[in-house]
Chain A
Amino acid sequence: MTLLRPRGRRIPLNAAATVTVVVCLFPVYWMISTAFKPSRDIRSADPQLVPHTWTLDHFRRAVTADGFELFWRNSVLVTLGAVLLSLLVALGAAFAVARMRWKGRRHFMLMVFIAQMAPWESLIIPIYIISRDTDMLDRLPTLTLVYFMITLPFTIVVLRGFIGTIPPELEEAAQVDGCTRTEAFRRVALPLLMPGLMATSLFGFITAWNEFAYANFLIIKEQDNRTLPVWLSSFQNTFGTDWGATMAASTLFALPALVIFLLLQRHVTAGFAAGAVKG
C-alpha cells in the first residue's frame, strides 16, 4: 500500500504523525519535567522545555509526605489481589466456555457481556450501603472485591478467545501420554496462554490501580486505608500550590502503569484483537 503512494504525499502525512506524537506525549513529558525542575523555574514567566537544572527535591517531598508508603502498599495489595482473583476465576470460567459443552453456555456468555457494560458508577450508593451493613466499609478487601468484579467480565471474554486459539488436540495428546486433564491443561495449554494472561492482567492492573470513585467513597473513616489515586487527588489541598511536589507525586503514581504498559504493549494489542475481533 505504502509503495503505491506518491512521494509528495509523505510530507503532510509525517507532519500529521509528528503532531499526533507531540500531542500524545506532551502532557506526560510536562508532568515528568516539571517534577524535576527547581521551584523557581516552575514559577517563571517563560517556561523551559528542558529543565536547566535538575532537582530531586520534589520527589523527596512527595515520598516523605504523610502516609506515602502506606498508600502505595495499599494500592499494590488491592491491585494484586483483584488481578489474581479475577484471573483465577476467569480462567476456570473461560475454560468451561471454550472447551466444554454444557446447557446454558450461551446464556452464561450473554450474562458476561451484559456485565461488561454494567453501570459501575451507578452502583456506588448500594455498594456503600451493603458494605456498611456487612461491616466491610473502610476496608481494603471491599475494594479488592469490587475491582475483581469490574475486571472479571473482560478477563473471561479475552481468555476465552485465547483458549479458543489453542488446539484441544495438544491437550488430548498429553492425556494419551498419561496426564490427567488438569495436568494436561497446566503443562500444555497454560504456557501457550501466557500472552493472554499478561494482556488481561495488565488491563486488570490499570483498572484497579486507577480506580478512584469507589476508593474515594468506600474508604472514609480509615484514612490509613486510602489508595494512591485518592491520595493524589487530595495532594493539592495538602500541599497548596506546590506544583513541583504534585507533579512528582503524579509521576510516581503513573510510572508503574506507563512502564508495564510499554513493556507489554505487543500483548495488549494482541489481547484486544483476540477479544474484540474473534469474539
Chain B
Amino acid sequence: MPVISERTAPRTPRHRPAPGPPAGPPERRRPRPSHSLWPYALIAPAIAGMLYLLLYPLLRAVLISLQDFRLRQLISGDAEFVGLRNYRTLLSDPRFWEVTGRTFVFMTVNVVLIMVISTLVALMTERLTKAGRTVVLGALVLAWAMPVVAATTVFQWLFHSEFGIVNQSLTSLGFDSFERYPWFADGTAAFVILVVLIVWQSVPFAAITLYSALTTVPTELYESARLDGASGARIFRSVTFPMLRPIFLLVCSLEVIWTFKAFVQIWVMTRGGPGDATTILPVYAVQTALSSQRYDLGSAASMLTVVLMSGVLVLYFRQMLRQEDESR
C-alpha cells in the first residue's frame, strides 16, 4: 500500500501531516548499523517465499510463453523453444485484440465509477453526524467483508430472470420490458451487471481509505478558505484534493490493478459469456490455457496482460506527476 509515501517522502516523516495512530519515532532514534547476521536470518523465510512462490513461477511463465507447450508437453515435459511465435500468434489474432479492447473499456468504466462514487461517499461521510457516520461506515464495512464468491452468487440471484428482485421491482415500477428479462443472455446486460457488482464490492475499501485520509486534513485550512470566500467546489479543488492526492493516486492505482485482474466474479458469473461479451484478458488467458490446453498461449496472454497493466500504471503516474508540476 505505501508505495507512494515511500517514494515521495523518504526519510522525512516529520514533514507529512501526522495522521492516524501515534506518529513513528523520529529517524535519529534508529539503532546504529550492526554487523550481526540477525536481520538476514529474520528476512530469510520471507525471501525464500518470494523466490520460490513468486519469482520462480514468474520465470516459468515467461519460459512457457516462449515454448511449444500443450497437453502433450505437459505430460512428457520436453517442451521446445519457439521464440516469440506464441506472441506473434496472439498479436495477429483479432479475438485477442477484441478482448484487450474490452479489458480497457471494462477497467476504465469500473475505475472511473469507483473513484467518483467513493470520493462522494467519503466527502459525505465526513459531513455526517457521529451517529450517521458510524452507521455508514458500518454498512460499508459489511459490504466490503462480503466474500467475493458469495457476493457474486447473491448478484446472480438479484438479477435472476424470473424471481430476481431487480426485475420484479422494475416491472412494478412500470418498466414492463423487464418482465422476465434475461440479464445473462444479453452481452451488454451481463457486462453491466458485472460492472455493478465490481463497483459495489470496490467502493467500500476506496471510500473508507479516502475518508480516513480526509480526516487528516487540518480544519483550519477549510476555515481560512471559507473566510476567503471560496465555494465548495473551489475548496475541494484547491484544498481537499491536493491534500488527498497521494492517497487518491494510491487507491486509484490499486483499483486499476484489481479491475484489470478481475477474474473470480466473471468466472463464477458468466465464464466470459454470453459469447465473448464479458471475456477480459485474465479470463481469456485461463480459457486458452486450461480449457483449450494451450498453456503456451495462455502464458503469453498472461505476460502481455502484465505488460499492459504496468504500461497503464506508468502512463498514469507520469500524467499525475506532470499535473503536479504544472500546478506548482
CA distance A25 to B142 in the complex (A): 7
CA distance A197 to B23 in the complex (A): 18
Which of A4, A20, A93, A125 is B42 in contact with, Cβ under 8 Å? A93
Complex contact A116–B1 (CB within 8 A): yes
Complex contact B46–A89 (CB within 8 A): yes
Interface assignment of A1: CB less than 8 Å from any CB of chain B: yes
Q: Report the minimal beta-carbon distance from A33 to chain B, rounded to whole angstroms.
A: 10
Among A53-61, A63-71, A145-153, which stretch is in contact with chain B?
A145-153
Complex contact A126–B58 (CB within 8 A): yes
CA distance A146 to B54 in the complex (A): 9
Q: Report the minimal beta-carbon distance from A155 to chain B, rounded to whole angstroms.
A: 10
Which of B31, B153, B157, B286 is A124 in contact with, Cβ under 8 Å? B286
Complex contact B24–A164 (CB within 8 A): yes
User: Does more than half of chain B's interface fall in helix, strand or loop, or is it mixed?
Assistant: helix
Interface assignment of A212: CB less than 8 Å from any CB of chain B: yes
CA distance A261 to B261 in the complex (A): 24
CA distance A105 to B309 in the complex (A): 28
Known: A93-B46, A247-B157, A261-B142. A101 touches B32 (CB 8 A): yes
Interface magnitude class on chain A = 35 or more
Which of A24, A115, A149 is B142 in contact with, Cβ under 8 Å? A24
Interface magnitude class on chain B = 35 or more
CA distance A212 to B286 in the complex (A): 13
- For B46, the chain A residues whose CB sits under 8 A away are 89-90, 92-93, 112, 152, 156
- For B165, the chain A residues whose CB sits under 8 A away are 30, 47
Interface residues of A in 91-111 (CB under 8 A from B): 92-93, 95-97, 99-103, 105, 108-109, 111
Complex contact A25–B60 (CB within 8 A): no
User: Could you list which residues of chain B lie within 8 angstroms of chain A, going by C-beta atoms?
Assistant: 1-6, 9, 13, 16, 19-25, 29-34, 38-40, 42-43, 45-47, 49-50, 53-54, 56-58, 60-61, 64, 74, 77, 120-121, 124-129, 132, 135-158, 160, 162-163, 165, 168, 172, 200, 204, 208-209, 212-213, 216, 219, 222-223, 226, 247, 250, 257, 261, 263-264, 267-268, 282, 285-286, 289-290, 295, 298-299, 302-303, 305-306, 309
Q: Closest 7 CB pairs between A and B?
A: A261-B145, A279-B2, A279-B5, A273-B20, A122-B302, A126-B60, A96-B42
Known pairs A149-B54, A164-B25; list 16 more (Cβ under 8 Å): A1-B126, A4-B223, A24-B143, A27-B158, A46-B168, A123-B58, A123-B302, A126-B64, A127-B53, A149-B53, A152-B49, A164-B24, A213-B264, A229-B148, A262-B141, A268-B141
Can you spell out 15 A-B residue pairs with CB atoms less than 8 angstroms apart?
Answer: A1-B222, A17-B124, A100-B42, A109-B6, A117-B257, A119-B306, A126-B57, A129-B295, A233-B153, A246-B153, A254-B151, A258-B145, A265-B138, A275-B1, A277-B213
